[in-house]
Amino acid sequence: MTTEAKSSSRERLLEAAATLTYREGVSIGVDTLCKAAGVSKRSMYQLFESKDELLAASLKERAAAHVTTLLPESDDGRSPRERIQHVFEQVESQAGAPEFRGCRYLVVQIELKDENHPASRVAHQVKDNLTALFRAEAEQGGASDPDLLARQLSLVFDGAGARAGIGADNLTGLVAPTVTTLLDAAGVR
């Protein structure tokens, strides 16, 4: 297999894993993944040790795009309060899409249950990074308890995404006032 073919097969597998596991869940079979990617099982196992490793690689590869979609530029001149609110504006916007199933990183953690699973470790790191961002912004914005506020914001983020992802709630007009209340109570500027 040439380097170009390996790269192409790898990319197709990563894309199939991202798409199918988000839509169908992590229990999607290897045959289904390979068929969607147009790659043989033999090729998949030459590129990845296991389906678990493929899923972890797929999540890791999409983490940068996930962050770029959610977060404002680091030097955009917004206040910490505005930067936090921006994250939730993005969630509200994404939740309106018909294909929205919630945060893919939370979904993986819930489905897998095993925190030592390679994909669960990647998902856990992405979620920890978001909480760390909330904490840094809260601290910079003068929050009375940045750790508590970061955890509360993560709770709202995950809860809002999960409820919208299962079709239990429409986030429009719900998330922004909730976040504003938390930011006001914590004294964030």
Percent above pLDDT 70 for the chain: 96
106-162: per-residue pLDDT in tens? Answer: 999 999 999 999 999 999 999 999 999 999 999 999 999 999 999 999 999 999 999
Q: Which domain holds residue 33?
A: 1-48
What single letter denotes the amino acid at residue 159? G
CATH number (domain holding residue 17):
1.10.10
The per-residue b/e assignment along 114-123, b for 16 or more CB within 10 angstroms, e otherwise, is: eeebbbbbbb
> Do both 5 and 78 map to the same domain?
no
Of 110, 113, 91, 101, residue with least CA distance to 157: 91
User: Do residues 35 and 72 share a domain?
Assistant: no
Answer yes or no: do 21 and 71 share one domain: no
How far is the C-alpha of 130 from the C-alpha of 61, rounded, in Å? 16
Query: How many domains does the chain fold into?
Result: 2
Q: Is the pLDDT of residue 7 over 80?
A: no
Q: Based on the fold, state whether residues 99 and 21 are members of the same structural domain.
A: no
Question: Do 44 and 64 belong together in one domain?
Answer: no
What does the pLDDT read at residue 125? 96
Same domain membership, residue 42 and residue 111:
no
| 71 and 163 co-located in one domain | yes
Indicate whether 79 and 167 sit together in one domain: yes
Residue 161's nearest CA partner among 15, 74, 134, 153 is 153
Residue 2 sits in the same domain as residue 83: no
